[in-house]
């Protein structure tokens, strides 16, 4: 069951929706490969796009920390941590 973008599994665990997961992974990929494409995809200026992704990752971390671990494995600890610290 999904309520306001948060999935509630039968065992009571929480996760974020597939749409947000796809958006986050697309943004991280584009940021790594071509920052101009990242900015275009986000439809914001670079600073706001980075701030939004940082906020989304922090939001996800409160709901589904295991997914953050997956992102760190896939895209690298340093990249994901940079967004957490807003050190980009």
pTM: 0.87
Q: What is the pLDDT along the chain (88 residues), one digit of tens a residue?
A: 777 778 888 998 889 989 999 999 999 999 999 999 999 999 999 999 999 999 999 999 999 999 999 999 999 999 999 988 876 6
Q: What phi and psi, each to the nearest 5 degrees, are found at residue 14?
A: -110, 150
pLDDT of residue 87: 65
User: Got the DSSP string for 6-35?
Assistant: EEE-TTS-EEE-HHHHHHHHHHHHHHHH-H
């Amino acid at each position: 069951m999904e309520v306001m973008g948060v999935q509630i599994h039968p065992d009571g665990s929480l996760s974020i929706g597939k749409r947000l997961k796809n958006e986050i992974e697309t943004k991280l990929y584009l940021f790594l490969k071509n920052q101009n494409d990242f900015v275009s995809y986000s439809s914001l200026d670079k600073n706001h796009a980075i701030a939004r992704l940082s906020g989304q990752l922090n939001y996800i971390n409160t709901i589904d920390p295991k997914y953050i671990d997956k992102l760190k494995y896939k895209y690298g600890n340093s990249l994901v941590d940079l967004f957490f610290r807003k050190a980009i």
